[in-house]
Amino acid sequence: MEDLHRTVRLLYTGHSQRARRFRYGLIVFDALTIVYFIATAAMPYTPITSALNTGLGLLILLDLAARLWISDNLRRELARIYTLADFVVVLSLLLAPFITESFAFLRVLRGLRLIHAYHLLRDLRRESLYFRRHEDAILAAVNLFVFIFVTTSLVFMLAFDDSRGIAAYVDALYFTVATLTTTGFGDITMTTTGGKLLSVFIMVVGVALFVQLARAIFQPSKIKHKCPECGLNRHETDAIHCKHCGETLKIETEGGTGT
């Protein structure tokens, strides 16, 4: 049992090529599940989707159990937002035959794993210069993507007739994006008090995420590299010295390591 525990820990936290490939595989699985949940949010419940949902629920539960098993701080791991989201997703999948399909939108919360996959971010920072240069923009885009489709699924559940299938889901997406961008065409509106409050929430949070993405794209490009002296972790891509303390930096570049 100890050997198995050590093997699992190394896969999730190790630095070997095998461990990195395993974590990249996990993030591909996470991405595919979120695409699947989005694609099937407006589809009717069938025996095939039931079997797929059960299988995915068991796989996600296995991943969740492994992360909890190897955690050094179980309480902190349980408090993480993506851990709580995974619990909700697993319950919505495994209990699907016993609950209304209106709760299908909760499965989109799986997308939170894409935001806070710490070890994946660590691998990408070490291996990809492009990611280090554009990390803020990439993470802001993921944040906005997850927010749009979580709220779209919520709008679809609350305000649209699910019998219309994909067409209704597209209407929900259209309403969400129009509200988020404050375009407000007015052809689709929320009339209930809850719907109006949801619209306000979409505008406030969505605009903030959209502005964050725009700022990350258009602000001067900086790279993440922690200064060994003062800890400043954002520098110009061609920086030789830390602008805060003057310490010499060795930032990896496409042509080698800066001196």
Exposure string for 7-24, b = 16+ CB within 10 A, e = fewer: ebbebbebeeeebbebbe
Average pLDDT on 25-43 reads 77
Work out the mean pLDDT of the chain and round it to a whole number: 76
Strand 256-257 relative to strand 252-253: parallel, antiparallel, unpaired?
A: antiparallel
Quick: pLDDT tens for 80-131.
777 887 888 788 777 766 655 555 555 666 656 655 555 566 667 677 777 7
Are 160 and 247 in the same domain? no
Q: How many residues does the chain have?
A: 259
Are 251 and 233 in the same domain? yes
Number of domains in the chain: 3
Q: Which of 171, 148, 53 is nearest to 101 (CA)?
A: 53
Are 119 and 14 in the same domain? yes
Which of 83, 109, 124 is the last residue in one of the domains? 124
Are 11 and 98 in the same domain? yes
Strand 222-224 relative to strand 252-253: parallel, antiparallel, unpaired?
A: unpaired
Are 259 and 212 in the same domain? no
Are 89 and 161 in the same domain? no
Higher confidence at residue 240 or residue 257? 240
Give the pLDDT of residue 258: 47
Are 175 and 65 in the same domain? no
Q: What is the pTM of this model?
A: 0.62
CATH number of the domain enclosing 213: 1.10.287.70
Give the pLDDT of residue 109: 63
Cβ proximity of 232 and 249 under 8 Å: no
Give the pLDDT of residue 259: 46
Give the pLDDT of residue 228: 73
Are 101 and 52 in the same domain? yes
Are 38 and 108 in the same domain? yes
Q: φ, ψ for residue 219 (rounded to 5)? A: -75, 160
Which residues are CB-contacts of 8 (< 8 A; sequence separation ≥ 6)? 66, 69, 70
Rounded-to-integer distance, Cα 119 and Cα 107, Å: 23
Domain residues for 195? 128-218
pLDDT band at 210 (very low <50, low <70, confident <90, very high): confident
Instruction: Look at residue 144 and tell me whether its pLDDT is greater than 60.
Output: yes
Q: 55-64, 177-186, 232-241 — which is least confidently predicted?
A: 232-241
Are 163 and 89 in the same domain? no
Q: Which of 98, 133, 94, 155 is nearest to 239 (CA)?
A: 133
pLDDT band at 252 (very low <50, low <70, confident <90, very high): low
Q: Helix, strand, or coil here: 116? A: coil
Are 191 and 250 in the same domain? no
Ranges of beta strands (E only) in the chain are 222-224, 234-236, 252-253, 256-257
Give the pLDDT of residue 62: 92
Rounded-to-integer distance, Cα 139 and Cα 145, Å: 10
Are 132 and 116 in the same domain? no
Cβ proximity of 105 and 41 under 8 Å: yes
Average pLDDT on 202-215 reads 87
